[in-house]
Structure 1
Amino acid sequence: MGTRHDRTDDLAAVGSSVLRCALATNILWIGALKFKRYEVENDEPLLTSSPLFARLRARVGAQKLNRLIGVTEIGVGSLIAAKPLAPRASAIGSFGAVGMFLTTLSFLATTSEARQKGHGILSLSLLGQFLLKDTVLLGAALLTAVESLRAAGPRE
């Protein structure tokens, strides 16, 4: 029978694997959905109210912008999943996800539809609640980045 320390290490390893797989799956799936018409429509209030995306959306159009975001998300998710083969690339993917989630969290401030009208800034709508979950994904991306960097070892 293993020691308590061995069992907690095993549990931590399982948790890390589940976290990485879930993070990569979420990003890949959401990235693939960016090619669907309904997702283009769902993203409209976020992109048009964002100082980061409004001009780009006006320049390339909603559908092309969503496809660009989708390709980016698919790339990031693939890199995160690549840890066993390419831990440094996986760390880059995780840091890319950190940037993505910081961006999506900024929509809480820029999108009026993220809040219930007439109930104050802390009363989130369904859209706001959807965005808020990115705080958890942000933490997951930071943890997978560290784990990938450790697996990569020191640079020579």
Structure 2
Amino acid sequence: MGTRHASADDLASVGFSVLRCALATNILWIGALKFKQYEVENDEPLVTSSPLFAPFRRKLGAQKLNRLIGVTEIAVGSLIAAKPLAPTASAIGSFGAVGMFLTTLSFLVTTPQARQEGQGILSLSLLGQFVLKDTVLLGAALLTAADSLRAARSR
């Protein structure tokens, strides 16, 4: 029995490591892309229809807003990756990612282009499908936050 638990614990440990690396990589990469013009254009329907982002879009312009989002994502991704050196900072980064993904998921409601026109609210467009994957990333951020908090307490 002990061997079975040890291998399950080992598998969970490897899974958390893969999850953390994948989450950090996704956020860092997407953050870096925010500096590309095509990404500024891709984000336009999301930010212009969002009650949270539209005022920032009007004040900063599309490019500066995307760069601000990119810098934020790079900081969050870096903090998540910092768990071996700074588990508390990593937990903060994970909670930042939770906030990020809750915000992006709100685009499903605020962005008309997230739904397939004339097909009802549950029929997602490609944009809506792209945003929906953030539910998985939200779960990953919650798990990495818990893992980082456990590591910080054991220090």
TM-score scaled by length of structure 1: 0.97
Instruction: Give per-residue Cα distances to partners, 1:40-81, cap 9 Å, x unaligned.
Output: 000000000000000110001000000000000000000000
- Provide the C-alpha distance between the structure 2 equivalents of 1:62 and 1:13, rounded to a whole number of angstroms: 41
| 1:42 corresponds to | 42
- Provide the C-alpha distance between the structure 1 equivalents of 2:32 and 2:154, rounded to a whole number of angstroms: 34
* TM superposition shift of 1:106: 0.2
2:35 aligned counterpart, secondary structure = coil
* Gap regions ≥5 residues in structure 2: none
How many percent of aligned residue pairs carry the same amino acid? 84
| 1:51 corresponds to | 51
Query: Which runs of at least 4 in structure 1 moved beyond 2 Å after TM superposition?
Result: none
- Provide the C-alpha distance between the structure 2 equivalents of 1:117 and 1:60, rounded to a whole number of angstroms: 30
* TM superposition shift of 1:154: 6.7
| 1:107 corresponds to | 107
2:66 is matched by which residue type in structure 1?
Answer: N
* 1:97 and 2:100 are equivalent in the alignment: no
| 1:122 corresponds to | 122
- Cα RMSD (Å) of the superposition? 1.1
Report how many residues are paired.
Answer: 154
* Gap regions ≥5 residues in structure 1: none
- Provide the C-alpha distance between the structure 2 equivalents of 1:149 and 1:16, rounded to a whole number of angstroms: 13
Instruction: Give per-residue Cα distances to partners, 1:79-134, cap 9 Å, x unaligned.
Output: 00000000000000000000000000000000000000000000000000000000
| 1:84 corresponds to | 84
